[in-house]
Structure formats: C-alpha cells, structure tokens
Amino acid sequence: MTGAADAAALATSATAITDHVAVYAEPGGSVTQYLPHPQESGAPLTFLVAARRGDWIQVLLAQRPNGSTGWVTADSVTLHSLVYSLAVSTGRNTLTLSEGGREVKTYAVATGTGGTPTPQGSFYLTELIQPTNDGYGPYAFGVSAFSEVLSTFGGGPGQIGLHGTDDEASIGQSVSHGCIRLSNADITELAQLLPLGTPLTIGP
C-alpha cells in the first residue's frame, strides 16, 4: 500500500496465517474458542482490529451476541491497513461509501422490515461469495452482524449479508429479513473494490 494510502487508513484488519486461530478472553488469559482458517465458505478468516496491547490484538468477532470481541496473538495474523468504510442508514435505506474518511458515494439499499429489522451497531465484512441462489445476486458479503429476531434463516445461522437481488424493485424499501440488498450493478462494484475487514456501521 502506498504511503498516501497508509496516511488515509482509518482501520486495520487481521487475517489469519495459521490453520486455526485461538481466541482468548483477555491477553494471556484462557482460550475461549479456536476458529478455522479458511472459513467454511473458503474465504480467509478475517477480523476487524479493535485495539492492540503489545503482542496481543483485540478483534471483533462474527458471532452472537453482536459486538462480541476477543483477543488473538499477533503471530497468528497479518495486519492490513483499510481506507474504505461503509455506513448504512436503515431509516433512509442508504449505504454510504467513504475513502479515507471522505464520503465518495451513496447507494440505495433495501433493509429489514419492522418485524425483522437490520441490527444496528459496528460491524465488518467477513467474507465474499458468489451465491448459487439468484435471489442474492452475483455477489454477497458476509457481515459480522446477526439478526436479533431470527436465530436461523435459509439453513444458516441468521447472519446478515450485504448482497445483490433478483428483485431490484425492492431497493430503497424496508422489506428484507435483515440483510442489506443492493442492485446487482452496485454489489458488483463494491465486490471489486472492498477488502474483507472493511468496517460497516449500521444506524438509524
């Protein structure tokens, strides 16, 4: 990454470099879980860094409850500077892309309904897949957020996605089960631009 890009970096991701990453409750504390790398989808195991303490790194975890964190050792991951970030407004049904803290583009999206709302908070992009179900468009990012209403959905754990759709008339409305839908052209654009670990803030 260039010096200019590093100067604009606002966040850091951590990507696993070992077959499994041990997650600790606190630096030097007990192991709470081991996470496989790569993930089941084949995507590299990636975290968003929350803090650093010597050889320990606090990371956001893609699990329930939303906002979960843990600690990993610095020698189990490699760090990357991030210049892009995303912000979703569920009230306006928009997604805003920022680069180096500067807003560069806003997209219309569909978000959750009143009965199945899109969860709010600070999250990140965990994986990128090309769905076999046309309903999700050509690309789908996994998000570290999980539905606070649905414990399962479509055979999965109720994880929120940022994906395309075969119903582009729904864009701009509150109609999903909690996922964030974009037009297929827009999700394709973002899939070619955003690295895993990119921060995603969801608010009203």
Cα 201 to Cα 76, 87, 102, 125, distances in angstroms: 26, 5, 15, 11
Cα angle 14-90-167, degrees, rounded to a multiple of 5: 95
Is residue 3 classed as helix, strand or coil in its secondary structure? helix
Alpha-carbon gap, residue 6 to 90, rounded angstroms: 31
Q: Which residues contact 43 (CB under 8 A, 6 or more apart)?
A: 126, 127, 128, 129, 142, 196
- Position 202: which residue type? I
Backbone angles phi, psi at 3, to 5 degrees: -60, -40
Through-space distance between the first and last CA atoms of the chain, rounded to whole angstroms: 34
- From 54, 44, 52, 49, select the one nearest 12 (Cα to Cα): 49
Residues serving a catalytic function are 163, 179
Token digits for 23?
A: 């997650």
